[in-house]
Amino acid sequence: MPFPGHPEIYPLVLTNKTQEIFNCRIDEDVTDEHPYKLIKKEDIFADFENRAAVSDFYPVKKIIQEYPGDELLLVYDKDFKYGLNFYLIGTEEGKENYLNPPEVPEEQEEYKEHIPEDIYIYKPPICKPWVSLGSEKEIEEESVKESTKEITYMISRKRSEFGAPVKFSDQNASSVKDAYIECTAYPDKNFTLKQLERDVGMQVVPKIKDTSTQTRW
C-alpha cells in the first residue's frame, strides 16, 4: 500500500537475500551519498517466478505490472522516514522528481540555513495495515501437525452385571488356552524402506494426563 500523503511511495522490507539478488546491499551498493538503485522490471518478474509469494516485491506486484517504464526506482530509507528500510517509487513522475529535483529559490535556501538543525520535530506514529511478506507460508510448512488420525475406544459393562458378585483368582497364562497370543518380531525381506530426506520439527508442549473416575462395581 502507498504511504499516506505520498501515493507514489511504497515502503518495502528487503531481506539480505533480496539485497544480494538485486545488488542493493546496504552500505555497499546503496549508501548515504548514493541511496537509490534502478531495478529492471524483468529482473523483478524473474524473482516472482523463482520465489513466488516469498519475494519481497510480492506486496507491490500489481504496481510493478502496471508501471509504464522498464526500470523502477528503489530508494534506501536509512532513517525509516516511511517506516521500512526501502521504498519503491511507483510512478514515472515521482522517479523523475527524485532523480532531478526542481531547483529551490535562493530565498528558501537562505531560510533553511537559518533553521537550527537540532530542533526536534515530533511526528506521531501512524497506524499501518499489516502487509504479508510471505513468512506465514514458511511458518505453516515448518509447523508440527498430527499425521495420524486419533482413535477413541469406549469400554462399558452390561447394565445387568452391575452389583453382581465378583470372584478373582490367580491364573497361569501358559496353562490356559487362548490366554495370550505372542506376536514376535521378524525381518521382512520383501520390504525395504530408504530414507532420502526428512524434515524434523521440535516443539515444547506441556505434559498431559488423562484420568477418569467411576463408581464401584
Cα angle for residues 100, 106, 107 (degrees, 5° grid): 130
57 near 44, Cβ under 8 Å?
A: yes
Judge whether residue 47 has pLDDT over 70: yes
Average pLDDT over residues 16-28: 88
Q: What is the pLDDT of residues 84-93, one digit of tens each?
A: 889 988 888 8
Q: What is the pLDDT of residues 190-215, one digit of tens each?
A: 777 777 777 788 877 778 777 877 77
- Report how far residue 160's alpha carbon sits from residue 156's, in angstroms, rounded to the nearest whole number: 12
Judge whether residue 162 has pLDDT over 60: yes
Q: What is the pLDDT of residue 144?
A: 82
Q: What is the pLDDT of residue 105?
A: 60
Q: In DSSP terms, which residues pair with 55 in a beta bridge?
A: none
Q: What is the pLDDT of residues 108-132, one digit of tens each?
A: 555 555 555 566 777 888 888 888 8
Which residues does 18 contact at the CB level (< 8 Å), separation at least 6?
Answer: 47, 55, 56, 57
Three-state SS for 4-20 is CCECCEEEECCCHHHHH
The secondary structure of residue 41, as a DSSP letter, is: H
E strands, the chain, where?
A: 9-12, 36-40, 71-76, 86-89
Q: What is the pLDDT of residues 174-189, one digit of tens each?
A: 777 777 777 888 887 7
217 near 163, Cβ under 8 Å?
A: yes
